[in-house]
Amino acid sequence: MPDIPFVREHNFQYGQIEVLAPGIRRLTARNPSAFTYHGTGTYIIGTGTVAVIDPGPDDPLHLDVLLSGLKGERISHILVTHCHKDHSPGARILQETCGAPTFAFGPHGFVPQAQDEGAEEGVDVNFEPDVRLAHGQRFDVGGLELECIHTPGHTSNHMCFALPTSGDVFSGDHVMAWSTSVIIPPDGNMADYLGSLQLMLGRQDKCYWPTHGPPLQRPHPYVEALIAHRYQRMDDILELLALEPMRIAQMVDPLYPGLDPRLTGGASRSILASLLYLIDDEKIASSGDTPLNSIYRRLI
């Protein structure tokens, strides 16, 4: 398996808006977990007139600290990278106080009847942006130009936001320095994810600021490693299925040795995303009532 140069040292402080770079600040929510690392990093872009990216979970205390720290400034945009419960619910609380509109690619693309909280942080089914953004769209916030980058894969509505002048990108959960992203079908899609990573490689951005964890100062080699990792994972799945047909539950341990048990659900769904990619590529086939419980067999 190709090595991914993870960056896990994360310097931050709870309860304090930190200045990270000119025009970039961050407040970290107190919602650490196996999926959020130390918590959701809510970014503030600009000064005087500002945009807030990913207000975070339904946590009034987090939003109180944010609003107190921005006293005397005006929030003009509430931007949401995607609609998981650790990213978008805080937008409603923030909007009630500041009145700014919400901006995102759109609502969550597919909402299962029964959400599996063991697989991710859960879907914010109630989020619908006031303004829907398009890939490549640009707008000004307090004299800074922001660019929208549609990066489906983790979710179909995932949007990154860039500052073209400085080369900074707020990469949400699309690219994180501390961990790979979970791809959970049917809304998450491996082909879309790989395509979105290739899209990022075609850009000249200098630094990624994920919603969770530390920044990536050299993003291109890291993104290349993420792509290689995903293709190697699919090769590993094909090697397993060359031994015998298997269910996903049989693949987790050999593919993820020593996995934190809290991540088993997410790993199972990411395996499913790879399996669906391989089915579309006509390399494997499946039989069974549900994708997670199906038996998968290799065709070539």
- Per-residue model confidence as pLDDT tens digits over 248-268: 999 999 999 999 898 899 899
Categorize the per-residue pLDDT at 115 as very low, low, confident or very high, splitting at 50, 70 and 90: very low
Q: Is the Cβ–Cβ distance between 140 and 147 less than 8 Å?
A: no
Q: What are phi and psi of 99, to 5 degrees?
A: 80, 5
Q: Report the CATH number of the 228-298 domain.
A: 1.10.10.10
Separation of alpha carbons 136 and 297, rounded Å: 41
CA distances from 135 to 44, 151, 158 (A): 21, 9, 11
In the chain, CATH 3.60.15.10 covers 18-217
Predicted local confidence at residue 300, as pLDDT: 83
Predicted local confidence at residue 263, as pLDDT: 87
In the chain, CATH 1.10.10.10 covers 228-298
Q: Is the Cβ–Cβ distance between 232 and 1 less than 8 Å?
A: yes
CA distances from 137 to 48, 104, 188, 258, 268 (A): 23, 11, 23, 43, 35
pLDDT in tens, 132-161: 999 999 999 988 999 999 999 999 999 999
Predicted local confidence at residue 114, as pLDDT: 46
Report the CATH architecture of 18-217.
Answer: 4-Layer Sandwich (3.60)
pLDDT in tens, 175-226: 999 999 999 999 999 999 999 999 999 999 999 999 999 999 999 999 999 9
Separation of alpha carbons 55 and 57, rounded Å: 7
Q: How far is CA 71 from the centre of its chain?
A: 29
> For the chain, first and last CA: distance in Å?
21
69's enclosing H/E stretch is helix 60-69
**CB atoms near residue 48 (< 10 Å):** 11
- Does the pLDDT at position 113 exceed 80? no
Query: Higher pLDDT residue, 110 or 57?
Result: 57
The average confidence (pLDDT) of the chain is 94
Q: How far is CA 10 from the centre of its chain?
A: 18
Q: 235-270 in b/e burial notation, b at 16+ Cβ within 10 A?
A: ebbbebbeeebbebeebbeebbeeeeeebbbbbbbb
Q: Is the Cβ–Cβ distance between 252 and 260 less than 8 Å?
A: no
- Does the pLDDT at position 1 exceed 70? no
- Interval 223-235 mean pLDDT: 98
Predicted local confidence at residue 74, as pLDDT: 98
Categorize the per-residue pLDDT at 119 as very low, low, confident or very high, splitting at 50, 70 and 90: very low
Predicted local confidence at residue 269, as pLDDT: 93
Q: How far is CA 103 from the centre of its chain?
A: 16
- Does the pLDDT at position 73 exceed 50? yes
Close Cβ partners of 249 (under 8 Å, ≥ 6 residues apart): 268
27 burial class (0-12, 13-18, 19+ CB within 10 angstroms)? buried
Separation of alpha carbons 83 and 97, rounded Å: 20
- Does the pLDDT at position 110 exceed 90? no
Query: Of 26-40, 84-98, 256-270, where does mean pLDDT reach its minimum?
Result: 256-270
% pLDDT > 70, the chain: 96
Categorize the per-residue pLDDT at 118 as very low, low, confident or very high, splitting at 50, 70 and 90: very low
